[in-house]
Homo-oligomer: A and B are copies of this chain.
Amino acid sequence: MAEAVTYLEAIRQGLSEEMERDERVFMLGEDIGVYGGAFKVTKGFLERFGKDRVIDTPIAESGIVGAAIGASLMGMRPVAEMQFIDFISCAFNMITNFAAKSRWRYGAGVPLVIRGPSGGGVRGGPFHSQNPEMYYVHTPGLKVVAPGTTRDAKGLIKAAIRDEDPVIYLEHKYLYRLPRIKEVLPEEDYLVPIGKAALKREGKDLSLITYGAMLLHCLDAAEALDKEGVSAEVLDLRTLLPLDADAIEATAKKTGKVLVVHEDTRTGGIAGEITALINERAFEYLDGPVLRVTSPDAPVPYSAPLEDYFLPNAAKVIEAARRLAAY
């Protein structure tokens, strides 16, 4: 019977299955071919799919995304890798102005996927640990996904490749090879729908809304809170744009107390948008303020004690959850 695979292996499987299934799918990026990618996500792809479908590019993120856009307009399904997601900033204009607006402007959809390793916890410092989601969540025309489990990682990359619109796929490098989240994946071809959150734990006293690597910390926190007699529900957003407003509304109405947890920095982070949605849709149900546990407003630091202080963790979630529960 099948064995448990890593989050990284799940992404690799999803990519290669879609390349097998659909000849329109191809990949481009820096060091993805011969080398198989900085994190080895596309290891073996060059040998398997050939150099026409696994293209090593010069160092030119805007050029890479631009070329992906052109190929997409021609009916292909490009998947562009950013060696670290931090470098997506160099393609910001191409993504937000060319890819995001073409369908609305004149009806030309630009299905493509831009993926890369995001997030901290690996001593990457300010330029190899970023969480750029909000720059794209604030851009109509894009979709943004951020899987927190191995199963979702595979199902979402496949859904992203099949989607008719441009999708930013954020894979969290801290989860890549984390033994704890290895999973046995379904034999059959499955997708995780974009735009649907998942309730990863049922609870009745309060809701933890999160995504990405923070899911683990929220589940740990929920476990610990349970022992204190606080029943916490954990909603994994999985897709950040479009947000699953119905799922957010449902859990807010159910528990009446919401704590949003994200690794991204605080000001302008997605917790604000979620708080606004809850205000609009479930205000009367609130038994306390919507609170947030996030990284502080600073770049991601390198030094171990600094990064450990900087990133949210179970302890911080528990502490905030207690305050909220006591409310």
In A69-92, the 8 Å CB interface with B consists of 86, 89-90, 92
With both beta carbons as reference points, the residue of chain B lying nearest to A100 in the complex is identified as B299
Interface string of A132-147 (1 = CB under 8 A from B): 0011011011000000
A275 on the interface (CB 8 Å rule)? yes
* A276 contacts B283, C-beta separation under 8 Å: no
B contact residues around A135 at 8 Å (CB): 92, 135, 138
In A265-304, the 8 Å CB interface with B consists of 265, 267-276, 279-280, 283, 288-292, 297-299
* B289 contacts A280, C-beta separation under 8 Å: yes
From known contacts A92-B92, A276-B290, A279-B290, infer whether A141 and B299 are also in contact, taking CB-CB under 8 Å: yes
Task: Tell me the complex Cα distance, A127–B241, Å.
Answer: 22
* A272 contacts B276, C-beta separation under 8 Å: yes
* B126 contacts A101, C-beta separation under 8 Å: yes
B contact residues around A267 at 8 Å (CB): 137-138, 140, 241, 243, 273
* Number of copies of chain A assembled together: 2
Contact of A276 among B126, B134, B141, B271 (CB under 8 A): B271
Interface string of A97-139 (1 = CB under 8 A from B): 1001100110000000000000000000011000000110110
B contact residues around A255 at 8 Å (CB): none
Interface string of A223-244 (1 = CB under 8 A from B): 0000000000000000001010
Interchain Cβ contacts under 8 Å between A and B, 22 examples: A89-B92, A104-B298, A105-B126, A134-B134, A135-B135, A137-B267, A138-B267, A140-B297, A140-B298, A141-B299, A241-B267, A267-B273, A268-B270, A272-B275, A275-B276, A275-B279, A276-B276, A279-B289, A279-B290, A280-B291, A283-B288, A283-B289
Other CB < 8 Å A-B pairs besides A134-B268, A275-B275, A276-B290, 7 of them? A92-B92, A92-B135, A104-B126, A135-B138, A140-B299, A272-B272, A272-B275
Residues of A within 8 A of B (CB): 86, 89-90, 92-93, 96-97, 100-101, 104-105, 126-127, 134-135, 137-138, 140-141, 241, 243, 265, 267-276, 279-280, 283, 288-292, 297-299
